[in-house]
Structure 1
Amino acid sequence: MNIVVFDIETVPDVVGGRRLLDLQGLSDDDTAKAMFHLRRQEAGTDFLRHHLHRVVAISAVFRSKGEQIAVWTLGDENADEKTILEKFFHLIERYSPTLVSWNGSGFDLPVLHYRAMLHGVASPTYWDQGREDRNAKWNNYLSRYHERHTDLMDLLALYNNRAFVPLDQMASLLGFPGKMGMDGSKVWSAFQAGDIKGIRDYCETDVLNTWLVYLRFQLIRGDLQEAEFLNELQIVKDYLQREAHPHFLEFLKQWQSAE
């Protein structure tokens, strides 16, 4: 079975903000500030509504048959939002993987839905609820209780938002690295500074944490035995060492120091 663990990073959609909130004539920075201010007045939080998040990175862990694993960010550093979305949904069309996320149902996927609508990005396999594939009626990507998409945070909390846990804390509690050098609140400033690589690297460490937490979940529900679980961890370590990207090596260093 192919498994894709995914995570997205976003910035304010300043073009959409100008259109919807009558902010014409403002710079990107001032538009974003106005969007945050209006949102605070509306809801007491800076967190924008899902449709006003522009996707700037989608990272994935791809685990396929055998001992094959890959970690990467879709598209290159110059890819626009539509290209990034097309590459994500192409993965689904080509491989029909099991999707794994942390809060993907609450944030990542709704954002991807709205942005795919905006750009006209099609994905018949993703949206199928049994019309084309009868089996998809009982196991599809859209149902909260099906396994084509496993939102680990939602499932572990028993679908109770009072029991939600941040990925950083859950990963660290289990002895994995957690956050490394950036968090979601810093993505907009990093984007303004042109640090797209830093955003992509951060997103990749988030999907690595999610994958490791998912492996522990696979252990407790009996899909992996102890020896298999340890072997999966070693596969990740070997991959990080082999690829030798600086953020991979730092992730590995922090992981080993926490063991």
Structure 2
Amino acid sequence: MKKAETIAAWEKESRAAAVEEAISRSGLNGAYGHICCIGYAFDDEKAKSLSWPLDYSDERALLSGFAETMSAQNRIPTIVGHNVAGFDVRFIWQRAMVLGVRMPAWFPKDPKPWSQDVFDTMAAWAGARDTISMSNLCDALGLPGKDDIDGSMIGDLFAKGEFERIDSYCRADIERTRSIHRRMLVAFGEAA
């Protein structure tokens, strides 16, 4: 490249690509990423989700709403999720610290996949040091898997304003996790 404008255009494109890549990677980092949707279900209740901006004006309000919903429970629930001990709980705590949101006293601080505070479907299948995607686990168990969205697409969907799709994806993930969890409880000889 010899022309100054060609070089400038290349540098601008390279810089934009680098910034986009850095933003994409930071989505899984509690210091920089954001929570745009949190889903939950108690026992056999229908899956629910809280999202920003559908239900709340910003991330802090969303996380505060989630903390209030969890605090209102008359019991301490076991948190069930796929990679919940390895990612979700830690990310929620990190965002709570960044935003100054008080979580319920019972909310696990640093759960291990084998702790009583959580049931991590990924760890229950793959062990504490290995992984399996939820989609692959659903396939292995003969359960309905993911549709046309996966977690890596949430940032782009949020940027495009497709909040209802994120909400729907979140609730569907809860139902998938619930199906996996029930199958595991049966195999472990526990009530489903």
Asked if Structure 1 and Structure 2 have the same fold, meaning a TM-score greater than 0.5 normalized by the shorter chain, the answer is yes
Match of residue 148 from structure 1:
117
Give 1:199 shift: 0.7
Q: What residue is the counterpart of 2:150 in the other structure? A: 183
1:75-90 mapped onto 2 (5 Å cutoff): 75=51, 77-79=54-56, 80-90=58-68
Taking a change above 3 Å as real, the CA distance of residues 46 and 206 of structure 1, as seen in their structure-2 partners, is same
Q: Displaced runs of 4+ in structure 1, greater than 4 A?
A: 45-48
| Matching of residue 223 in structure 1 with residue 190 in structure 2 | yes
Q: Please say if residues 101 and 150 of structure 1, whose CA atoms lie closer than 8 Å, have aligned partners that are also in contact.
A: yes
Q: Which runs of 5+ in 1 are unaligned?
A: 1-29, 40-44, 128-139, 230-259
SS at match of 1:187: helix
Letter in 2 for 1:34: V
Inter-partner Cα distance in structure 2 for 1:223 and 1:97? 17
In the alignment, is the contact (CA less than 8 A) between 1:59 and 1:74 conserved in 2? yes
**2:77 matched to which residue of 1?**
97
Identity of aligned residues (%): 24
Structure 1 counterpart of 2:129, one-letter code: N
**Gaps (5+ residues) in structure 2?**
1-15
Report how many aligned residue pairs link the two structures. 172
Q: Is the 8 A contact 1:141 1:149 kept in 2?
A: no
Measured in 1, the distance between the counterparts of 2:93 and 2:110 equals 11
The whole-number CA distance in structure 1 between the counterparts of 2:94 and 2:22 is 22
**Contact 1:141–1:147 under 8 Å retained in 2:** no
- Please say if residues 180 and 205 of structure 1, whose CA atoms lie closer than 8 Å, have aligned partners that are also in contact: no
CA RMSD in angstroms comes to: 2.5
Residue correspondence of structure 1 range 1-259 to structure 2 within 5 A: 34=19, 36-37=21-22, 48-63=28-43, 68-75=44-51, 77-79=54-56, 80-95=58-73, 96-126=76-106, 142-144=110-112, 145-161=114-130, 164-224=131-191, 229=192
Q: Could you tell me how far apart the structure 2 residues matched to 1:77 and 1:123 are?
A: 22
> Aligned partners of 2:147, 2:100: CA distance in 1, in Å?
34
Q: TM-score, normalised by structure 1?
A: 0.59
SS state at 2:42 partner: strand
Residue identity matched to 1:106: G
Larger helix percent: 1
When normalised by structure 2's length, the TM-score is 0.78
Deviation at 1:34, TM superposition (A): 1.0
Distance in 1 (alpha carbons) for counterparts of 2:151 and 2:111: 26
User: For the structure 1 residues 150 and 48, does the alpha-carbon distance in structure 2 shift closer, same or farther, using more than 3 Å as the test?
Assistant: closer
